[in-house]
Amino acid sequence: IKKIAVLTSGGDAPGMNAAIRAVVRACTYYRIECVGVYRGYQGLIEGDFKTLSARHVSNIINKGGTILKSARSQEFKTTEGRAKAFQNLKEAGIGAIVLIGGDGTFTGGLKFIEEYNFPVVGIPGTIDNDIYGTDNTIGYDTALNTVVEVIDKIRDTASSHNRLFFIEVMGRDAGFIALNSGIGAGAEEILIPEKNLGLERLVDSLKKSKDKGKTSSIVVVSEGDKIGKNVFELADYINDNFPHYDIRVSVLGHMQRGGSPSCFDRVLASRLGVAAVEALLDRSTGVMVGITNNEVSTVGLNKAIKMNHDINEELLKVAEITSV
């Protein structure tokens, strides 16, 4: 392999830039040309390429978002779109791609390998942590820290006014952000997509807390919580069935994706960027690089996208015990 392309795709995540930088510099180190592809798969289809030298990625390790931009490309989901992408890669003399993204990105990568037997290695970049085969995805740690910082601020208001706050955090299918930020920020209750705890249990728990002398409470709700109500309906329901608190709702939204990456995410991204280039040099393809038990690991892209939906019961128990 003489030329490697790198792209970021799907939702952006803090630390993607640190990963791009590591890929580019690993290429420089191993004397391979590195080509940046702009706007994910869409840029692959349109041939939006730029050769990146080690100096092109100066001063980005600390920046959120992605300098290569990201996109959701409908065209790449078609065989014609992927054929154009292959043609562009061939014409540019590119021999392999590093994909930085989530499960959708890896699904597209798998299709591409199937059709063109083109060498592809994935790096998990998503704040949701919903990828199998790595302990952490790039951006997850930063998002958790952002959420905890915001909940701490909301707690000041909650405790000053004896309020009950419902705080919606990201996570359509995975409750990692809700569960871990909830524990870290000392939430009263945590509602996640993996487990429907039911409305009655929630009312009951709030009643008990009130009886035990709590004057304010914070409930962290995952976007994809399966209780069957969105966070506003949930607040209305509690207001109707347990009208003892002044209730407020806060939807954190996209702020959770932004900001400077934590040191943890920068180190993770740097390790995975180097690992991805080394995996390609070892002729690996169709795999994702990850970190498992603090060591670089690889897993098939087909396995990486099959997230294990079992929740960590120990974490749920810790959340319960520490909110008595």
Annotated binding residues for ATP: 11, 72-73, 102-105
Residue placing its CB nearer to ligand ATP in the complex, 38 or 76: 76
Task: Give the type of residue at 91.
Answer: E
From candidates 126, 216, 262, 270, binder to ligand ATP by CB under 6 A: 126
List binders of ligand ATP among 226-285 (CB under 6 A).
Answer: none
Instruction: Decide if 96 contacts 120 (C-beta within 8 A).
Output: yes
Annotated binding site for Mg(2+): 103
Q: Smaller CB distance to ligand ATP: residue 73 or 88?
A: 73
Tell whether residue 65 is a contact of ligand ATP (CB under 6 A): no
Element (H, E) at 319: helix 313-321
**3-class SS at 42?**
helix
Q: How far apart are CA 290 and CA 193, in angstroms?
A: 24
Q: How many Å is the Cα radius of gyration of the chain?
A: 22
Asked about 236 being catalytic, the answer comes back as: no
Q: Which residue is nearest to ligand ATP (CB)?
A: 104
- Name the minimum Å distance from CB 163 to ligand ATP: 32
Interface with ligand ATP, residue 119, by CB under 6 A: no
Residue 95 burial (CB < 10 Å; 0-12/13-18/19+)? middle
DSSP string, 290-308: EEETTEEEEEEHHHHTS--
- Cite the annotated binding site by residue number: 11, 21-25, 72-73, 102-105, 126-128, 155, 163, 170-172, 186-188, 212, 214-216, 223, 248, 254-257
Select from 3, 72, 214, 303 the one that contacts ligand ATP (CB under 6 A): 72
Give the list of residues 6+ apart from residue 232 with CB closer than 8 angstroms, or none.
249
Q: Which of 64, 101, 193, 273 touches ligand ATP (CB under 6 A)?
A: 101
Query: Given the rule CB under 6 A, which of 85-93, 98-106, 173-181, 259-267 is the region that contacts ligand ATP?
Result: 98-106
What is the distance, to the nearest Å, from the Cα of residue 74 to the centroid of all Cα atoms in its chain? 21
Query: What is the edge-to-edge ordering of all strands in the sheet holding 33-37?
Result: 49-51, 33-37, 3-8, 96-101, 120-124, 287-292, 295-300
Selected binder of ligand ATP within 3, 63, 84, 111 (CB under 6 A): 111
Which residues are part of the catalytic machinery? 128
Rule CB under 6 A: which residues touch ligand ATP?
Answer: 9-11, 41, 72-73, 76-77, 101-105, 107-108, 111, 126, 128
